[in-house]
Amino acid sequence: MPITEFLTRNANLYPDEVCLVEINPENKESHGVTWREYDLVETKPNAGYRREITWYDFECQSNRFANLLTVKGVKKGDKVAILLMNCMEWLPIYFGVLKAGAIAVPLNYRYTGDEIKYCLELAEASKLVFGSEFIGRVESIYGTVPGVDEYIYVGQDCPTFATDYELIAERCSKKPPLMEVKDDDLAAIYFSSGTTGFPKAILHDHRGLVNACVVEQAHHNQQREDIFLCIPPLYHTGAKMHWFGSLISGSKAILLKGVKPEWIMETISNEKVTIVWLLVPWAQDIMDAIDRGDIKLDELELDQLRLMHIGAQPVPPSLIKRWKGFFPHHDYDTNYGLSESLGPGCVHLGVENIHKVGAIGVPGFGWTVKIVDEQNNEVKQGEVGELVVKGAGVMKCYYNDPQATENTLKDGWLYTGDMAKQDEDGFIYLVDRKKDVIISGGENIYPVQIEDFLRTHKDIKDVAVIGIPDARLGEISAAIIELKPGSECSEEAMFKFCAALPKYKRPRKIFFEDVPRNPTGKIEKPVLRKKHSGERLVEQQTTQ
């Protein structure tokens, strides 16, 4: 069945139950209310810091938007782009697009005007739904994107060039649209993160979305009483596919607008959250705030929290060891996936395998996995090769890019571009991105291995290792190190620390600066390569 039927089922079974809560702590503080006075505040309509809707409301809003799109001439297979920050309207609009038989095209909220235009053109979108944060960027491309005939605005003070979402949607019927949607109908275009160049348009069907629901519940066992805290951006497959566990189980989810560690932990406590998905930097920030005393665990209600899981990037084992020190009774899990596989789940650690922290896990529910060499032959156990996966969540294609599709999809297998190896127990470990491997003097250097080592240093908050040009060796490794607040460390001390690594793995250059990450937590290595490749490089000869 198409994924929209899960929503209709929930609206019929649990019409009066709250399914989504939006919390905006910044608005709360702007009202002169301290965050710790949360339970004393009366929730008022449009108060701005807490909103909620029921499953019935969700269904009605989606139906209204689907009927609106139909009235506006949207046909099956047309593309409707969504450019919104996380908000209460996001998911009802997304499901409205699907109910209309159209293809939803979520856009990264960090895109510039030119990038928005590029993605709209690549996806051949006919409508763009956008929020107040993007007025300037959208206005800069208004009238220049072939095919986009309407700009629908969500928020107050609608700009003159756009159509007001609330004004027109409330006039439309809340009854289900007449459009028939089937399993094999196309459903969504997601864009790759663009960490290796311009983003690609990744096309999925309804069957793939439903598979993501099933996989997520199989891995994390979401039940009706669970409450999921969603913080990452909904435009990304990771956040949405984890929320699909709430959809399939008919349970509540919280949309938190903000990533301050105090906000995250207070929300877990106040909203009785049972499952939270974090990115590595957020988990680090929470533990640092606990160490500083900014978060006092004995003042929070955390007994109901049963699971913290992390994805979207390699997870340092040292981070999880530290986390379990603070939260020994909470399960931990990690999921591996990519937008081409509809986000998390094609490889899955499992809460029962905490002893294998550092691995991304074993094949996920319904997935098949292998590791191959350049000739597509499976490598021996323990050898490094490219990770390839097969399952119902594999994309249909890169939209409008047949060459990239041919390079990535082969006989139903998705070639991930990630280098991996398998241990004697069958657990898979990421080694690095294929394009991030550093070849120095003929040796393959995998940055993730060096990053994991450096993160064990007590003063390091975050780290990225990249290859930079070298006249003699071709490339050398450079470490970009972000220190914890208040910490100090010299280049000399860091080189001495790295003496524990094999000689060829030791960074030859150290830079102390912030490590840039995109909204899904991935290190923006192209940005770092561009910044540092032009600097004068001096190979260190100290302890090597």
CB contact burial 10-48 (16+ within 10 A = b; e otherwise): bbeebeeeebbbbbbbeebeeeebeeeebeeeeeeeeee
User: What pTM was estimated for this model as a whole?
Assistant: 0.82
Domains in the chain, ordered, with CATH? 4-299 (3.40.50.12780), 437-532 (3.30.300.30)
Residue pLDDT tens, the chain, 544 long: 899 999 999 999 999 999 999 999 887 655 444 434 433 333 333 345 899 999 999 999 999 999 999 999 999 999 999 999 999 999 999 999 999 999 999 998 888 898 899 999 999 999 999 999 999 999 999 999 999 999 999 999 999 999 999 888 888 999 999 899 999 999 999 998 654 457 899 999 999 999 999 999 999 999 999 999 999 899 988 888 999 999 999 999 999 999 999 999 999 999 999 999 998 878 988 999 999 999 999 999 999 999 999 876 667 788 888 999 999 999 999 988 889 998 788 999 999 998 898 899 999 999 999 999 989 999 999 998 999 999 999 999 999 999 999 999 999 999 998 889 999 999 999 876 667 778 776 567 878 888 888 988 989 999 999 888 876 666 788 999 999 888 889 999 999 999 988 787 889 999 999 998 876 667 888 788 888 875 443 333 333 3
Helix axes 4-13, 206-220, angle to 10 degrees: 60
Amino acid at 542: T
Predicted pLDDT of residue 260: 93
CA distance linking residue 465 with residue 539, whole number of Å: 15
Sequence-ordered list of residues with C-beta below 8 angstroms from that of 84, at least 6 positions apart, any chain: 90, 93, 109, 129, 130, 131, 154, 234, 235
- Using CB atoms within 10 Å of the CB of residue 62, give its burial: 0 to 12 exposed, 13 to 18 middle, 19+ buried: buried
Tokens of 200: 């690609």
Structure tokens at 375: 């000739």
Say if residue 303 is exposed, middle or buried (CB neighbours under 10 Å; 0-12, 13-18, 19+).
Answer: exposed
pLDDT reported for residue 366: 94
- Asked whether 418 and 448 are in contact (CB, 8 A), the reply is no
* Residue ranges with strand state E in 24-158: 50-54, 79-83, 103-106, 125-131, 150-154
